[in-house]
Chains A and B, each alone.
Chain A
Amino acid sequence: MVDFDVRLGLTPADLALRELQIRRPAEYVPLNPDDSPELRVIQANFPDDIVSSRLFRGEKTIVVKKTNIVAICKLLYQSPETNYNYLSDMTAVDRLKFMKDDEPRFEIVYNIYSMGTFQRFRLKAQVSEDDQTIDTVESVWPNANWVEREIFDMFGITFNNHTDLRRILMADDWIGHPLRKDYPLGGEEVEFTYNVRGK
């Protein structure tokens, strides 16, 4: 039985290698409330929930805490300024390999779209490793049902109040959550004379 909790991604050798890698510096531009109705709306109603915001290559992103996620989503849907009535996509990111110790491990990414203004917006909610749950947004966008099932299947994040939370792509008896960064990549070692064990 493989221990799926082993953090294979964080071996000292791996860390040292990543330190050596030269990375291009990231331009970090926070969102300007004058240009972003999303930021204005969230700031007016949930000022304590905003963690950070970013404008990168013309794409707007706001990171929020997960406590009021359903209310924030509902706000973005119902507010006439934003009116994000279409959940285009939803996913999660496991930041295990480059997060700092005090940062939450997972990010749930809501890729939302407005059919009225044709604007796209990215909302991210932070989910920590200690409490891998978040509320479902099914009540706002019904099609969150399947994508949330996929996130549960692939990342093991549980959605509170979800109507039908079970695996969707992997088999029902599958062990582990494949898209986590500490999920061991399979593959059997090719047997040669020097590595045949116990034969």
Chain B
Amino acid sequence: MEKAHVYLKQTKAGRWIPAGFYLVNWGLWILTAVTAGAWHLLYLAVLPVPALAIYLLRTRRNRP
């Protein structure tokens, strides 16, 4: 299929896998902060959240 990459982006996996990558990346650094005892830095974990929230909102209507 010529535009298979567009079709695959619209599937459930195409939507959730990128969100999962970002979430895992973010979560591992929260874990790093916790295990390092860097509690005073944990509030910075809110900074990457808006990008994920906007992504989930913007891709709501993706349907093949």
A and B: partners?
no
Q: Please give the residue numbers on chain A whose beta carbons come within 8 Å of chain B beta carbons, in ascending order.
A: none
